[in-house]
């Protein structure tokens, strides 16, 4: 007896040619109308010679901003925002190549601030208000690095969340 599963179904292959038939334009294409299903065209300006030239992205000037330093036992994260809270530049110790316990050192925090300030250069930010969260070792190192990078720190506020006797803390470790 033959096994039915070993037989492969008979398929008919059609011959394909290199020349594909031309696609007929839709009514929306003929009228030059964008529909919900047609992709939007990118804005490209033409010069007098007829060549296409991409428009430059305008960088807005931000003289003032906020910096959020999140210093945990394991990492340090720095985020620069405008006054409304929209993130402009961010960096972390893990992003900068530090691994393991080296991520939570004050030196790592200073390297993180240096990297974030480099990304901040096109915006021209000179004054920042610092908001520090957490109890890690990178707290002071990050603030010192802000001063060293030439930023004027107008205020420093600790926003570490503190419970008003809320949840029971975990049991102490026995080492």
What is the per-residue pLDDT across 4-49, written as a single tens digit (0 to 9) for each?
Answer: 555 555 555 555 555 566 667 666 666 666 655 555 555 555 556 6
3-state secondary structure of 17: coil
- 87-103 pLDDT per residue, tens: 999 999 999 999 999 99
7 is a domain residue: no
Range of the domain at 92: 64-158
If we measure between CA atoms, which residue out of 80, 84, 150, 81 comes closest to residue 92?
Answer: 80
End-to-end CA gap in the chain: 71
Q: How many domains does the chain have?
A: 1
Q: What is the DSSP letter of 62?
A: -
165 is a domain residue: no
Q: The domain that contains 115 carries what CATH number?
A: 3.30.420.80
């Amino acid at each position: 007896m033959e096994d039915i599963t070993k037989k492969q179904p008979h398929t008919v292959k059609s011959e394909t040619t290199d020349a594909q038939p031309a696609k007929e334009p839709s009514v929306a294409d003929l009228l030059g109308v964008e529909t919900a299903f047609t992709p939007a065209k990118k804005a490209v300006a033409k010069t007098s010679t007829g060549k296409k030239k991409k428009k430059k992205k305008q960088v807005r000037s931000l003289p003032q901003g906020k910096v959020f330093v999140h210093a945990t036992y394991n990492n340090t994260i720095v985020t620069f925002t405008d006054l409304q809270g929209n993130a402009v530049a961010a960096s972390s110790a893990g992003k900068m190549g530090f691994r393991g316990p080296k991520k939570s050192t004050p030196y790592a925090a200073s390297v993180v601030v240096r990297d974030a300030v480099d990304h901040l250069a096109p915006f021209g930010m000179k004054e920042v208000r610092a908001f520090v969260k957490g109890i890690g070792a990178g707290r002071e190192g990050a603030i010192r690095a802000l001063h060293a990078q030439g930023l004027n720190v107008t205020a420093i506020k600790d926003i570490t969340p503190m419970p008003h006797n809320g949840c029971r803390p975990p049991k102490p470790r026995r080492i």
